[in-house]
Amino acid sequence: MQPGNSDAASSELAVKANSKALLEGSSARHERSLGQFIRWIVLFAGGVLMVMPLVYMLSTSFKFPFEVYNLNLIPEEPTLENYTYVLGDGRFMKWFINSLVIATLTTISNVLFDSLVGYTLCKFSFRGRYIVFIAILSTLMIPTEMLVIPWYLMSQQFGWLDTTWGIMFPGLMTAFGVFLMKQFFESVPDDFIEAARIDGLNELQIWWSVAMPLVKPALAALAIFVFLGNWTAFIWPLIVTNSQDMYTLPVGLTTFSVEQSVEWELIMTGAAISVLPTLIVFLVFQRFIIRGVVMAGLKG
C-alpha cells in the first residue's frame, strides 16, 4: 500500500472510531439523563407527599365548616374567621405560652445537662464510666408508655400533678442527648482540653468556653430535636394535667374535638399557628449546623 493510501485509511478508521465513540457517548448521556429524570420524578413525588398534609392543613384553616370535607386545596370562600376565633380564645394563647415555656426550658436543660454528662463520660477517666454510660443508654430501650405510670405516681407523691414542673421533669435530660453529645465530644481533641488546663482554667470553664463552642452543630441538632419533641409531646402532658389552664398546645387542640363533632377547621388553624415556633427554631439553629460543617471542612 502507498504511504498516501495508508494515511487515508488510518484517518478513515479514526473517523469511524470517533463516530462510534460519539454514538456510544450520546447513548450513555441519554441513559444518564433518563436516570436523572426518574430520580427527579421520585424526588418530586416524595416532596409532594411531604408537603401535602401541610398544604391541606393551611387550606383547611381558611375554610368554613361546610367546606372542611371538600378536598379542594383552594377554599371556595376563604375566611380568616378561624384565626380570629382561635387567637381570640384566651385558652389558646395560654396553651401556646405553656408549650413555649415548657419546650424552651426543657431545651435549655437538655443542652446544658446532656452535654455536661456527655462531656464527663467522654473526657474523664473514672472507675465505672463505661457502666454508667451503658446504664444511661439502656434507658433508651424503655418505651415512654411504660414510664408514664411511675412518673404519674412520682408526680402525685411530690405534688407535681397539674404543674409546669410536672409536665417538664421527665424530659429535662435525655439518654439520647447524652449519647449524642458524648459522641460529638469524642471529636474534640484532648490537646484542646489539656492546653486549657495548663492555661489555668477549671474543668467547668474548660467545658463551657472550650468544649461547648466546638460542638455547636451538635448542640443545635440537639436543641431542634428536644424542642420539637417537647412542643409536640402529647401523652404525658395529657396525663399529668387536669385543668385546661395547664394544657399544652397539642392537648388543648383536642378540646376542639368533642363527642358530637370534630371542628377540623379550628384544629387545623391551631396546628398551623403551632407550626410557627418550630419553624423559627429550625431556621435559627440550622445556621449553626451549616456553619459547623463548614468549619469542620476548613479544619481538615
C-alpha cell at 140: 433508651
Cβ distance to another protein smaller for residue 201 or 275? 201
Among 48, 189, 257, 293, binds another protein (CB under 8 A): 189
Using alpha carbons, list the distances in angstroms from residue 141 to 126, 137, 146, 252, 275: 25, 8, 11, 30, 29
CA distance 37 to 39: 5
192 is a contact residue toward another protein (CB under 8 A)? yes
Going 81 to 270 to 47 to 67, the CA torsion angle's sign is negative
CA distance 250 to 252: 5
Residues 6 or more apart whose Cβ sits within 8 Å of residue 115 = 177, 181, 185, 207, 212, 215, 219, 222
Cβ distance to another protein smaller for residue 103 or 222? 222
Among 73, 199, 242, 287, binds another protein (CB under 8 A): 199
Cβ distance to another protein smaller for residue 111 or 214? 214
CA 222 to chain centre: 8
Binding mask 214-233 for another protein (x = CB under 8 A): x-x-----------------
Among 196, 219, 251, 271, binds another protein (CB under 8 A): 196
Q: Is 266 exposed, middle or buried (0-12, 13-18, 19+ CB in 10 A)?
A: buried
Among 210, 228, 239, 289, binds another protein (CB under 8 A): 210
195 is a contact residue toward another protein (CB under 8 A)? yes
Cβ distance to another protein smaller for residue 94 or 216? 216
12 is a contact residue toward another protein (CB under 8 A)? no
CA distance 248 to 239: 11
Cβ distance to another protein smaller for residue 22 or 294? 294
Cβ distance to another protein smaller for residue 26 or 205? 205
Going 285 to 289 to 294 to 296, the CA torsion angle's sign is positive
Q: Which stretch binds another protein (CB under 8 A): 16-24, 104-112, 141-149, 196-204?
A: 196-204
Binding mask 230-259 for another protein (x = CB under 8 A): ------------------------------
Q: Which residues bind another protein (CB under 8 A)?
A: 189, 191-192, 194-201, 205, 209-210, 213-214, 216, 295, 298-299
